[in-house]
A and B are shown apart, each in its own frame.
Chain A
Amino acid sequence: MTARKHRRLWTPAIAVVAGSVIALSVGISQSWLSALISEVIALAWAVNLYVIGGRDSDIGAVVGSEGDERQEFVKLRAARLCMVVVVFAIVAGCLVAAATKNPIWPFQAGAVLIGIAYFYGLWFYGTAREEANAAANEPEDQRDGF
């Protein structure tokens, strides 16, 4: 099997790992029968993702980790939409938890993590590092000018 074919396995593998962690949590907190059902659902979803990843479409290319530049852009926009939904879900979860007198710290922690990740992303993918390097290498009398 070539490395190219392995790439199609990445997304299903992530789904299996995430699903197994959720199933384990369900098993510990509720029942092992529920955990087994969760695991079966996660495995079925992973198989579904593998099948989708082989399709000749934008979704197939993105799920199969084979996207070209436009499909990567589509993936970014989809990820942005997904993040907006996650933020709304966190706010709604926070409200529901507060209304039902349950702890809200998991939602707060999620919100803090998202905020940190967002600003880290702006720094990491922006030009801040290059600007800092350029400023460090530049003689002081040449700064703020051409």
Chain B
Amino acid sequence: MSQVEFAALLGVSRQTVISIESGRYSPSLPLAFRIARVFVMPVEELFDPEEEVPR
């Protein structure tokens, strides 16, 4: 799946997918759950709550 397709599936921009992938942006809870639903994985396996996001 391309970044463009994934972004369209989530209803966000391609730039936001890139930011999440590179760890520069932590998604909101609704978006995190949408991502988890796409990957059919628990949200805590996709995102580490201890991870610091650079500001």
**Interface of A with B (CB < 8 Å)?**
56-58, 61, 67-71
Query: Given A69-B27, A69-B31, A70-B25, A58–B15 Cβ distance below 8 Å?
Result: yes
Interface residues on B, range: 10 to 19
The residue from B13, B19, B25, B28 contacting A61, defined by CB atoms under 8 A apart: B13
The residue from B11, B14, B31 contacting A56, defined by CB atoms under 8 A apart: B14
Inside 8 A of B25's CB, which chain A residues have their CB?
70
Where chain B touches its partner, the secondary structure class is loop
What CA separation (Å) do A57 and B19 show in the bound complex? 12
Inside 8 A of A61's CB, which chain B residues have their CB?
13, 15
Inside 8 A of A69's CB, which chain B residues have their CB?
12, 16, 27-28, 31
Q: 16 other contacts beyond A70-B12, A70-B16, with CB at 8 A cut-off?
A: A56-B13, A56-B14, A58-B15, A61-B13, A67-B13, A68-B11, A68-B13, A68-B16, A69-B27, A69-B28, A70-B13, A70-B15, A70-B25, A70-B27, A71-B15, A71-B16
